[in-house]
Chain A
């Protein structure tokens, strides 16, 4: 079934590409089909509590490289989120974009490509499958952030996102390699525990990779910039799915690192700092999307913290919040996008009083915000309650740190949520509103409505969340989401959080605010610029464009590398010649070489080279290698003709060179020649057994159907080599033609 699903997505991309040519809306509609079917499949599997199925194909089985997928409970929950929200976002995008919007092929196809990558990531059962789709999500995210690819700030933001998540991808690669080396397995569903230094290094690398993807401080700077993407992209990638990839990675590999102190310490540091800093900055921003983006950083920090703690209750709480967050954050982004489209601005200072003019959006925002703030009767309340209880079950320093992070972060969440809602919807109307678009309203109503419905229908929520948490930590089977937890400590803490947060939010909403500067983003950008400028300088030094210097460098390096062969030369085995004619030919070669090195005319030098080649052909013929001699002869002929043709473009004589460069060239050429002699002498001094001539003769006739062994070797025995070689020749031919075309194009200008 998993193959069918992935194939359906590929077909969907083709369909979206074809229909996108007609209009943006048809492309988006075609793209929505595959995610919708996939979400239905995942829901059905969860509903009937189906046994996990595994599929896969090996590529390099010895190294564990291949595609492996498995539909475990966590994978199904994430599939439901990725594909379900994906289908809704495609519908939403129909409202967001005009039917004739630019990029009507590129956008639906790229967004579906992202959806497919994310689906592959959540279904992956092998660390390498996960890694491949991880990288795919980085690339598709880059393309989607840079959707408005003509605007310079958007380009910079897209580049920043790619650089940071790409660097995280490299860290992940290194970490996974160590993990595979330590555990000897690639299967994600039963990774053994690791420990020791190697385990700690792998833990740090993987946690850093997760932190880049899930926008944890200090790697978070790409996420606010990524808000340059169209709002459907922000709602889908940068709140509900892609930024969760890091969280998923921590969840899946976390059980292996349970004994590694660095894992928990680093994860909690990332998480708690991000929770506080993200919430704090979200309080100050005035752009609706940026408020939500910083809020996402904060929420992701909460997830990373809980998963790093790794106790059964914390894992259970993390999965619950992940589920609830995907719903309410996507809904809030949808509302901001709708406000942007219908009023023309996202700046909360210019907005206000929208509760009358946009009642549906207001209802959605209130429901989603209450869920985010953790207020009943919404799913977010039950999830947040689980997190508070998880913190209360800890002890010592760990509890103190987690309490500061989770309680403090939650207060800030309530505060920025309330401030956002008050500034946008309360007060008197100050701005004109364009008519409602149902394609935009309907998905956000569904998303936020689910937060409400799933609270009252808690059995369904539990049947989705509990198996996924049990997959990660079997001990979390005893927990469940509760509508009413009772008047326990956790409930009073939750109430205190909401009250404090509401007070702060209400106070700040009545104060004028100025958007904070983007800390850190400039640093990353200037670092990238410097690397690029440095690359230009280095490239200019190395690729200077002087052919003689290139050749001298190559010959010199070869000479140095080959000098070691001198120890292999056995002077006793060397003979002067087999027949005196070889001596004669050698004398001709030597004379031609000396002539070629001293002659001033280019044509003369070419002819002496030809003489060397012809004498070499004579040597081959003497050794009983007519095929080699024939080929050598023909190649020499062609090369000389080509020289004659090519020399027409150059001066008749070599240009004068200064004395020192001349000396260097003589030295390098001499050393290169000497090393070739040494290498040949070393090769002939240490024969390794007899050539299997008789076998070849017999097999050539019997199997290859020919008497010319050389040719049978070329076309049968080693035909794969020949195939590769002629492909190289063909590639060279294409390259030459391309260069010639470039020159003629340049000539026409």
Chain B
């Protein structure tokens, strides 16, 4: 890879990763009330993955599994209301008091958004695989 030789780049990416993940998770949860959402969160995670691939940091990541879990979550969330007679994709909003955080309001839009995140991440990962980014080190390992 282009940045394989640069340990500065590798270290930088490694250090930035936890921060980027936190931002991604923030965007996912904040999305309902502030800018962000499942799509944006998926893209942030995708960026992290791309940077890892760029600097040849190994991560075990199967795009098809991530996409599959995402599809499952989205479809189940969408179809569940049908079982108690509501419309497809009907929302359920629930407010609960949690000791430290105070009043937290959330709905079934959250799992739906998580599913979207996983699907977007799966797509980015598939794109990276399709570009042949992962193949070089792995085919060496498998011998």
Show the binding face of A for B, using Cβ within 8 Å: 626-627, 630-631, 634-635, 637-638, 641-642, 644-646, 648-649, 703-708, 710-712, 714-716, 719-720, 722-723, 726-727, 729-730, 732-734, 736-737, 739-740, 743-744
Contact = CB atoms under 8 A, between A and B. Distances in A.
A704 B105 CA distance: 11
18 contacts: A630-B40, A634-B40, A644-B54, A704-B93, A706-B32, A708-B33, A708-B34, A711-B31, A712-B109, A719-B89, A730-B71, A733-B67, A733-B123, A734-B64, A736-B123, A737-B63, A740-B132, A743-B132
Nearest to A702: B93
Contacts, number: 156
B43 A708 contact: no
Given A703-B91, A722-B116, A648 B2 contact: yes
A737 B129 contact: yes
Contacts of A641: 47, 50-51, 54
B78 interface: yes
A726 B74 contact: yes
Contact of B67 (A627, A705, A720, A730): A730
Contacts of A649: 131-132
Given A715-B109, A726-B119, A730-B122, A708 B63 contact: no
Interface in B8-32: 27, 31-32
Interface string B67-89: 10011001100100000000011
Contacts of A706: 31-33, 107, 109
Interface string B23-64: 000010001111111111001101100110110000000011
Contacts of B129: 736-737, 740
Nearest to B111: A715
B116 A630 contact: no
Nearest to B30: A708
A714 B35 CA distance: 12
A707 B43 contact: no
A710 B38 CA distance: 12
Given A706-B33, A722-B116, A736 B127 contact: yes
A193 B127 CA distance: 60
Interface in B93-119: 93, 105-107, 109, 112-113, 115-116, 119
Contacts of A732: 123, 126
A705 B107 contact: yes
A626 B113 CA distance: 18
B47 A638 contact: yes
A705 B32 contact: yes
Contacts of A744: 135
B116 A707 contact: no
Interface of B: 1-2, 27, 31-40, 43-44, 46-47, 50-51, 53-54, 63-64, 67, 70-71, 74-75, 78, 88-89, 91, 93, 105-107, 109, 112-113, 115-116, 119-120, 122-133, 135
Most buried by A among B54, B88, B127, B133: B127
A719 B109 CA distance: 9
A635 B37 CA distance: 14
Given A703-B91, A740-B130, A708 B64 contact: no
Contacts of A710: 37
Nearest to A649: B132
Given A641-B47, A642-B131, A708 B109 contact: no
A733 B50 contact: no
Nearest to B35: A626
Contacts of A644: 2, 54
B119 A730 contact: yes
Nearest to A631: B40
A627 B35 contact: yes
B91 A704 contact: yes
A180 B33 CA distance: 53
Nearest to A744: B135
5 closest Cβ contacts across the A-B interface?
A706-B32, A705-B93, A634-B43, A733-B126, A715-B109
A630 B47 CA distance: 13
Given A715-B109, A733-B126, 10 more contacts: A631-B40, A641-B47, A708-B34, A710-B37, A715-B38, A722-B116, A732-B123, A733-B119, A739-B130, A740-B126
A723 B33 CA distance: 20
A645 B78 contact: no
Contact of B112 (A648, A719, A730): A719
Nearest to A715: B109
Contacts of B107: 704-706
B78 to A, nearest CB: 6
Contacts of A727: 71
Contact of A711 (B37, B115, B127): B37
A727 B113 CA distance: 13
A722 B51 CA distance: 28
Nearest to B31: A711
Given A645-B50, A708-B31, A733 B39 contact: no
Contacts of A723: 74-75, 78, 89
Given A638-B46, A642-B50, A708 B32 contact: yes
Residue with the greatest number of chain B CB neighbours at <10 A, chosen from A630, A708, A711, A714: A711
Contact of B124 (A638, A715, A716, A720): A638
A396 to B, nearest CB: 64
Contacts of A645: 1-2, 50, 53-54, 128, 131, 133
